[in-house]
């Protein structure tokens, strides 16, 4: 029998959760670990344009890594893959079409789709697909995995009540006060084993207004794309529920500094690429010259127009 009475804790939410019928795990890294273990993956092709967390997972799981390049449309320079090898596809900024992904599945058979930047993209039939929750919502952990494979052991359930402080803190104060906690939380998952999603995170995900968030992100992205399409080196298409708007310009470093001065904070999403790739490589320029502009549900057209003004008048 559970405890009865006493003070009231966080309420249970009963809304519909997006990706309700998938596997709910603790983070994106362990979602990949789940696939590696359940499908006995020994060799995996990764893009050079990639965060180092995926490389770390492969090394930890003793997976042999091969590499391939992507172009400015984020499409892969198709490698020659053997039958026992797997291909890891990243849906950068949600810009890959379903048709393109299906064609890769037809050609290569064994593919993994990383939708960490495309939470509102629905899974495609027969394709192992993973999502991460922290890039889209105010939670400290959480990942979604679609696969027909199963691990034949009981997975522990994660607990996140001690890690959510920085999210609650930013809700009432400034981001800077809790930046270190946020950074520490990101680093925390580097050595975490595969776990089920925490009860707290799953509850919060049942309380989210997904229709509102998708609509707001879609509108903000479309507004930025309309304003910047004439200067954006990338050929960006409008999508639903976008992650961030990728503005690629030659003077990105100057604009980034200008934005910070105006308290508009733009991350370098793959800093490891700047260290690992040569300055004349496409991957280096994708990492250094793309400004991932925020377009999430916290903001509306007023904030988007302010970002446009700062960039165009900077």
Residue 18 lies in a domain: no
Residue 87 lies in a domain: yes
Residue 35 lies in a domain: yes
Q: Is 191 in the same domain as 259? A: no
Enter the tokens of residue 39: 């499908």
Residue 114 lies in a domain: yes
Q: Is 80 in the same domain as 112? A: yes
The domain tally of the chain equals 2
Residue 16 lies in a domain: no
pLDDT in tens, 4-41: 999 999 899 999 999 999 999 999 999 999 999 999 99
What is the separation of C-alpha 44 from the centre of its chain, rounded to a whole number of angstroms? 20
Q: Is 102 in the same domain as 214? A: no
Q: Is 52 in the same domain as 201? A: yes
Q: Is 131 in the same domain as 103? A: yes
Mean pLDDT of 264-279: 94
CB atoms within 10 A of CB 289: 18
pLDDT in tens, 184-230: 998 899 889 999 999 999 999 999 999 999 999 999 999 999 999 99
Q: Is 200 in the same domain as 64? A: yes
Alpha carbons 125 and 252: distance in angstroms, whole number:
38
Residue 90: its pLDDT value, please?
A: 98
Q: Is 93 in the same domain as 165? A: yes
Helices (H) then strands (E): counts for the chain: 11, 9
Residue 2 lies in a domain: no
Looking at the DSSP bridge assignments, the partners of residue 145 are 23, 130
Q: Is 94 in the same domain as 128? A: yes
Helix spans in 124-230 (H): 165-172, 179-188, 199-205, 210-228
Domain that holds residue 243: 210-313
Look at phi and psi of residue 204 and say left if phi exceeds 0, alpha if psi is from -120 to 50, else beta: alpha
100-101-104 Cα angle (round to 5): 90
CATH of the domain at 154: 3.40.640.10
Q: Are strands 244-248 and 290-294 parallel, antiparallel or unpaired?
A: antiparallel
Mean pLDDT of 149-166: 96
Residue 116: its pLDDT value, please?
A: 98
In terms of Cα–Cα distance, which of 142, 257, 268 is closest to 205?
Answer: 142
Q: Is 64 in the same domain as 196? A: yes
Residue 13 lies in a domain: no
- Write the CA distances from 222 to 10, 90, 246, 289, 296, integer angstroms: 36, 22, 12, 21, 12
Alpha carbons 240 and 235: distance in angstroms, whole number:
16
Last residue of a domain, one of 205, 238, 254: 205
Residue 8 lies in a domain: no
Last residue of a domain, one of 172, 189, 205: 205
């Amino acid at each position: 029998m559970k405890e009865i009475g006493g003070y009231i804790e966080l309420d249970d939410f009963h809304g519909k959760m997006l990706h309700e019928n998938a596997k709910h795990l603790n983070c994106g890294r362990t979602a990949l670990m789940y696939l590696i273990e359940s499908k006995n993956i020994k060799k995996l092709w990764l893009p050079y344009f990639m965060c180092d967390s995926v490389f770390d997972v492969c090394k930890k799981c003793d997976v042999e890594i091969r590499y391939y390049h992507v172009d400015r449309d984020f499409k892969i320079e198709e490698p020659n893959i053997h039958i026992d090898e797997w291909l890891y596809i990243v849906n950068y900024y949600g810009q890959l079409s379903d048709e393109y992904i299906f064609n890769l599945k037809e050609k290569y058979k064994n593919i993994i789709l990383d939708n960490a930047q495309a939470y509102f993209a629905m899974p495609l039939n027969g394709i192992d697909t993973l999502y991460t929750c922290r890039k889209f919502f105010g939670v400290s952990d959480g990942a979604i995995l679609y696969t027909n494979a199963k691990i034949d052991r009981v997975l522990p359930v994660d607990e996140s009540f001690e890690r959510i402080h920085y999210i609650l803190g930013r809700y009432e104060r400034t981001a800077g006060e809790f930046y270190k906690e946020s950074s520490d939380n990101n680093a925390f998952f580097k050595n975490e084993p595969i776990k089920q999603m925490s009860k707290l995170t799953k509850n919060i995900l049942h309380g989210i207004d997904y229709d509102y968030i998708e609509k707001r992100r879609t509108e903000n992205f479309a507004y930025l794309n309309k304003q910047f399409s004439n200067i954006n080196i990338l050929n960006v298409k409008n999508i639903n529920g976008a992650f961030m708007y990728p503005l690629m310009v030659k003077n990105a470093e100057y604009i980034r500094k200008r934005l910070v001065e105006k308290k508009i904070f733009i991350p370098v999403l793959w800093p490891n690429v700047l260290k690992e790739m040569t300055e004349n490589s496409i991957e280096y320029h994708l990492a250094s010259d793309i400004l991932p502009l925020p377009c999430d549900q916290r903001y509306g057209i007023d904030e988007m127009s302010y970002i446009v003004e700062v960039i165009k008048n900077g």
